[in-house]
Structure 1
Amino acid sequence: MALHYTELPKYLLAPEVAALLHYLPDWTQHGLVNTLWNTGARINEALALRRRDFRLNDDIPHVVIRTAKQRRTGGGRPQKGKSANRVVVLSDADYVREMRNLFASTREKFDIDTLTGEKRAMPVWSVTDRTVRNWLKGAVNAASRDGVTFTVEISPHTFRHSFAMHLLYGHTPPKVLQSLMGHEKYESTEVYTKVFALDVAASQNVTFTLPVGDALQLLRDNR
């Protein structure tokens, strides 16, 4: 139902994401889009992720997503009132396995800071936002040739919305979702709870009309 309201986020359900990922056979492309889906990262955050940001072998696998300010300053304590880097738990074992295989089959790249001479780790995906959009367009076109279509127009940000809605459908408390999304204000998270309320209410098919005869009989039986 939320699809009819242009101001509300448009999202994919898990089966739709699985279908789209099927049409991204290239492991680099698949890994990035699957990261967007599993972390809810903004595209600029995902494209800044380094191998060291993934903690895949910890007892609880997770990824550390750096804010734009933290990336510019190279880390350190955030200013008072500002969000620190956020940690997103990677609860999907298949995704964790995919990323382990990806890192095992590629070598980490480094560059040299021209001012300090310091060696810095390069991002896992050294591509642009436009490149990712082209990947998604190619996947959608390939799916269409197979007769597979999607309910919404797909962009990198679609997966952030889909991540949020998938967690709400999985009964994640809104305050937890706020932390995972990196929202400073709860009002930003409330947008997703509004979508959730609309779509769940529409799927329940709750009726309010009861035949008068049945209603009268119920009341008589209660006497």
Structure 2
Amino acid sequence: MQLDRALNAYLRHVTIERGLSEHSIAAYRRDLNGYLDWLAEQEVSETGEITPAVVAAFIADRSAADPPPAATSLARLQSSVRGWHRFLAREGIEQDDPTGRLRPPKTPRRLPKALTIEQVERLLGAPSPEDPLGIRDRALLELLYATGARVSEAVSLDVDDLAYGDVLRLRGKGDKERIVPVGSYARAAVDAYLTRVRPQLAAKGRATARLFLGARGAPLSRQSAWLVIRAAAEHAEITSEVSPHTLRHSFATHLLQGGADVRVVQELLGHASVATTQIYTHVSVDTLRDIYITSHPRAR
């Protein structure tokens, strides 16, 4: 099959059958377009011409780039290429998968960056309670920290997703749903936003069921939510980097430090594997070590 046709078939597959997010699909498209451009330079025009040696040469070429790519970027690129070729073999478009023996590069295991509880409190208190958008921002920040939701999950919430009282329905990767508790602080902040601010914002735009709205009444975007977090961090004078995932990392870390079971945290975060969640246990080891040193009579 011609390369462009094969790529379009795969992108339709991940969009319709796997239900991946627009962000994930854009990443696949970006990686694989780069792969196809490289194949074109090698005068490869059809999928049947791609051999394990061709794939290995592509990975070697990308690894030798100046400056060299980060291990995580190279691993993601390999994953995209492998997923495409597996799809072609599974669908019978090609007989063999040339990436069968391709091994992902080892990536350094980075501990997620979490804020302290005091920093979180400053961050949550940063938006102005006198400003309508400040009330909205406080509701968004409180909800992110209370539930561990991804930013994409938070901005995709509908008002009806709050109809469960003290729990919330989240739609995660692959459109999988999970129910998570909502603490009293977050619920109060969201209720204040719903009664005092959202009706005003909704009147400015077209009717939408989305919970969080922008200044003009349209659904709040991921980029706008990121700006809310960054502005709150600056106002709170937090000097460490605060990313869209920071409150999610802090949520998991603080739960484990408080004694929560790792499998409970896995369920709350929506991780398919507990191994993904266990990276947070390494953060909590620091707390355990401090307690041990100060409490055990022969620790020092």
The answer to whether the superposition gives a TM-score over 0.5 is yes
Contact 1:40 1:159 in 2 (8 A): yes
Q: Which of structures 1 and 2 has the bigger CA Rg? A: 2
The within-5 A match list for 1:201-220 is 201-205=289-293
Q: Which residue of 1 aligns with 2:167?
A: 62
Q: Distance in 1 between matches of 2:188 and 2:280?
A: 29
Structure 1 regions of 5+ residues with no counterpart? 71-83, 113-118, 212-223
TM (norm. structure 1) is 0.70
Residue 193 of structure 1 pairs with residue 281 of structure 2: yes
Pair 1:87 & 2:179 matched: yes
Q: How many residues align?
A: 179
189-198 or 100-109, larger mean C-alpha shift: 100-109
Which has the bigger relative contact order, CA under 8 A and spacing at least 6?
1
Q: Per-residue displacement from partner, 1:7-39 (whole Å, max 9, x unpaired)?
A: 100101222111112212201111111111011
User: Mapping of 1:1-223 within 5 angstroms?
Assistant: 7-25=110-128, 26-55=134-163, 58=165, 61-70=166-175, 84-90=176-182, 92-105=183-196, 106-107=198-199, 121-125=209-213, 126-144=219-237, 149-150=238-239, 152-205=240-293
Distance in 1, Cα, partners of 2:228 & 2:212: 16
More helix by share: 2
RMSD: 2.9
Aligned residues of 2:266 and 2:277 also touching (Cα < 8 A) = yes
Residue 210 of structure 1 and its aligned partner are, at CA, apart by 8.4
| SS of equivalent to 1:200 | helix
Q: CA deviation at 1:62?
A: 0.5
Letter in 2 for 1:96: R
Q: CA deviation at 1:169?
A: 1.8
**Do the aligned partners of 1:109 and 1:121 also contact (CA within 8 Å) in 2?**
no
Q: Give the secondary-structure state (helix, strand or coil) at the position aligned to 1:153.
A: coil
Cα offset, 1:120, TM superposition: 6.0
Where do 5+ consecutive residues of structure 2 fail to align?
1-107, 129-133, 214-218
Structure 2 CA distance for partners of 1:51 and 1:209, relative to 1, 3 Å? same
Work out the CA distance in 2 between the residues paired with 1:169 and 1:158. 16
Q: 2 CA distance for matches of 1:109 and 1:67?
A: 25
